[in-house]
Amino acid sequence: LPTVYSLDGLLVFGLLLVCTCAYLRKVPRLRAWLLSERRGVWGVCHKAAVIGTRLHVAVSMSCLLMAFYVLVGK
Protein backbone atom coordinates (compact mmCIF):
# COMPACT_ATOMS: atom_id res chain seq x y z
CA LEU A 1 0.00 0.00 0.00
CA PRO A 2 1.31 3.46 -0.79
CA THR A 3 1.85 5.86 2.07
CA VAL A 4 0.65 9.44 2.07
CA TYR A 5 4.21 10.70 2.44
CA SER A 6 5.34 9.45 -0.95
CA LEU A 7 4.45 10.94 -4.32
CA ASP A 8 2.35 8.00 -5.43
CA GLY A 9 0.51 8.08 -2.10
CA LEU A 10 -0.32 11.76 -2.60
CA LEU A 11 -1.55 11.02 -6.11
CA VAL A 12 -3.77 8.19 -4.87
CA PHE A 13 -5.14 10.41 -2.09
CA GLY A 14 -5.85 13.23 -4.55
CA LEU A 15 -7.58 10.96 -7.02
CA LEU A 16 -9.70 9.38 -4.29
CA LEU A 17 -10.65 12.84 -2.99
CA VAL A 18 -11.67 14.04 -6.45
CA CYS A 19 -13.63 10.87 -7.22
CA THR A 20 -15.40 10.83 -3.86
CA CYS A 21 -16.38 14.51 -4.01
CA ALA A 22 -17.59 14.15 -7.59
CA TYR A 23 -19.72 11.18 -6.55
CA LEU A 24 -21.15 13.07 -3.56
CA ARG A 25 -22.02 15.97 -5.84
CA LYS A 26 -24.41 13.71 -7.77
CA VAL A 27 -26.48 13.00 -4.62
CA PRO A 28 -28.94 15.92 -4.28
CA ARG A 29 -29.24 16.02 -0.48
CA LEU A 30 -25.51 15.73 0.06
CA ARG A 31 -24.80 18.32 -2.59
CA ALA A 32 -26.93 20.90 -0.81
CA TRP A 33 -25.58 19.94 2.60
CA LEU A 34 -21.86 19.31 2.05
CA LEU A 35 -20.82 20.96 -1.18
CA SER A 36 -22.61 24.30 -0.96
CA GLU A 37 -19.72 26.05 0.84
CA ARG A 38 -17.03 27.52 -1.36
CA ARG A 39 -14.52 28.40 1.38
CA GLY A 40 -12.59 26.39 3.93
CA VAL A 41 -12.39 22.61 4.07
CA TRP A 42 -15.75 22.17 2.36
CA GLY A 43 -14.54 24.57 -0.33
CA VAL A 44 -11.76 22.13 -1.15
CA CYS A 45 -14.36 19.40 -1.50
CA HIS A 46 -16.45 21.66 -3.72
CA LYS A 47 -13.47 22.41 -5.97
CA ALA A 48 -12.53 18.74 -6.12
CA ALA A 49 -16.11 17.91 -7.13
CA VAL A 50 -16.00 20.50 -9.89
CA ILE A 51 -12.71 19.08 -11.17
CA GLY A 52 -14.13 15.56 -11.05
CA THR A 53 -17.25 16.42 -12.99
CA ARG A 54 -15.64 18.65 -15.61
CA LEU A 55 -12.63 16.42 -16.25
CA HIS A 56 -14.32 13.07 -15.69
CA VAL A 57 -12.58 11.38 -18.62
CA ALA A 58 -9.11 12.48 -17.51
CA VAL A 59 -9.82 11.60 -13.88
CA SER A 60 -11.12 8.14 -14.76
CA MET A 61 -8.11 7.44 -16.97
CA SER A 62 -5.82 8.62 -14.18
CA CYS A 63 -7.58 6.28 -11.75
CA LEU A 64 -7.12 3.35 -14.10
CA LEU A 65 -3.44 4.14 -14.66
CA MET A 66 -2.82 4.58 -10.94
CA ALA A 67 -4.60 1.32 -10.14
CA PHE A 68 -2.46 -0.48 -12.71
CA TYR A 69 0.68 1.13 -11.27
CA VAL A 70 -0.18 0.25 -7.68
CA LEU A 71 -1.21 -3.34 -8.45
CA VAL A 72 1.42 -4.26 -11.04
CA GLY A 73 4.18 -1.66 -10.99
CA LYS A 74 5.09 -1.80 -7.33
One pLDDT digit (tens) per residue for the chain, 74 residues: 556 678 888 888 899 999 998 888 888 877 777 667 777 777 888 888 889 989 999 999 999 999 898 889 87
Which element (helix H / strand E) includes 29? Answer: helix 28-34
Cβ distance 45 to 35 under 8 Å?
yes
Q: In Å, what is the CA distance from 6 to each residue of 2, 46, 57, 70, 71? A: 7, 25, 25, 13, 16
